[in-house]
């Protein structure tokens, strides 16, 4: 097995792999191995299984980085044997058996709750449609990326990757942070996930926490800070 670590960057809801473009570019520039899979965003168990399958095919240690809903995904997928650490970015950190809805319900809603849009989508093999959740395009910039270039946020708003509504009630099948070191960035100006939700999860996971005065899309707004935390995690996990 290779001793070289790979950083796997897992995006969240209402975003896609391109949300890590600035972070991935900096990591690649210093020779770090990086992979940014496209998460289906169809349900927690299925999304985690997909990411876990990606991880299993990587030779050597893996550092999982999850943004937003991607934090829940890496919490479950992180049970793979070659995962050496977890980095959470403005993320949900679930306990085993806990759902996104259960965790969120313990705290006041963020402005995101009133800006969600629900649309049906066909489910193969079923007569009943599923429900996709996205963010109102007109409100996406202020809620998701208030400190990101306006021209870019307009593009991000119309290219969202929705999350299936069923994912909000699906319990986490595992909590990898119970056995792995964790790092977390709190986006203190987050209007999508209440920063206290982030703080609670990180404290429970005994993560090393960094607070940044950032919108939800901390990877776009503060890529240097995100890369610094990832490099710190890589160095610690390699010891």
Whichever domain contains 69, its CATH number is 3.40.50.1820
Domain membership of residue 176 (yes or no) is yes
Tokens of 60: 């050597």
Residue at 140 is within a domain: no
The 3-class SS string of 126-153 reads: CCCCEEEEEECCCCHHHHHCCCCCHHHH
Q: According to the model, what pLDDT value does residue 2 have?
A: 60
Is 81 within a domain?
Answer: yes
The maximal CA–CA distance of the chain, rounded, in angstroms, is 53
What pLDDT score was predicted for residue 26? 97
Query: What distance lies between CA 128 and its chain's CA centroid?
Result: 29
Q: Which structural domain, as residue segments, surrounds residue 32?
A: 6-106+163-237
pLDDT for the residue 1: 46
The pTM of the whole model exceeds 0.95: yes
Task: For residue 69, give the nearest of 87, 89, 95 by alpha carbon.
Answer: 89
Residue 135 lies in a domain: no
Number of folded domains that form the chain: 1
Which of 19, 171, 33, 188 has the alpha carbon at shortest distance from 95? 171
Query: Which two three-digit tokens encode residue 98?
Result: 């806990």
Question: Are the beta carbons of 80 and 62 closer than 8 angstroms?
Answer: yes
- pLDDT score of 147: 96
Q: Is residue 225 part of a domain?
A: yes
Q: pLDDT of the chain along its 239 residues, tens only? A: 467 899 999 999 999 999 999 999 999 999 999 999 999 999 999 999 999 999 999 999 999 999 999 999 999 999 999 999 999 999 999 999 999 999 999 999 999 999 999 999 999 889 899 999 999 999 999 999 999 999 999 999 999 999 999 999 999 999 999 999 999 999 999 999 999 999 999 999 999 999 999 999 999 999 999 999 999 999 998 65
Residue 200 lies in a domain: yes
194 in any annotated domain: yes
Would you say residue 206 lies in a domain? yes
Q: Report the pLDDT value the prediction gives residue 5, as an integer from 0 to 100.
A: 94
């Amino acid at each position: 097995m290779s001793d070289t670590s790979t950083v796997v960057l897992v995006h969240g809801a209402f975003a896609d792999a391109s949300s890590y473009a600035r972070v991935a570019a900096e990591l690649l520039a210093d020779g770090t191995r990086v992979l940014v899979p496209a998460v289906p965003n169809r349900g927690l168990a299925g999304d985690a299984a997909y990411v876990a399958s990606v991880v299993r095919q990587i030779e050597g240690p893996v550092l999982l980085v999850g943004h937003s809903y991607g934090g829940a995904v890496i919490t479950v997928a992180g049970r793979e044997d070659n995962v050496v650490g977890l980095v959470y970015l403005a993320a949900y950190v679930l306990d085993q058996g806990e759902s996104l809805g259960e965790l969120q319900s313990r705290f006041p809603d963020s402005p995101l709750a009133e800006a969600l849009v629900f649309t049906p989508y066909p489910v193969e093999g079923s007569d009943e449609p599923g429900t996709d959740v996205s963010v109102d395009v007109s409100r996406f910039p202020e809620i998701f990326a208030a400190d990101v270039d306006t021209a870019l946020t307009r593009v991000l708003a119309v290219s969202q990757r929705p999350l299936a509504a069923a994912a909000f009630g699906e319990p986490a099948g595992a909590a990898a942070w119970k056995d792995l070191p964790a790092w977390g960035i709190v986006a203190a100006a987050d209007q999508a996930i209440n920063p206290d939700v982030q703080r609670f999860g990180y404290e429970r996971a005994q993560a090393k926490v960094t607070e940044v005065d950032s919108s939800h899309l901390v990877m776009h707004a503060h890529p240097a800070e995100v890369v610094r935390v990832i490099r710190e995690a890589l160095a610690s996990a390699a010891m």
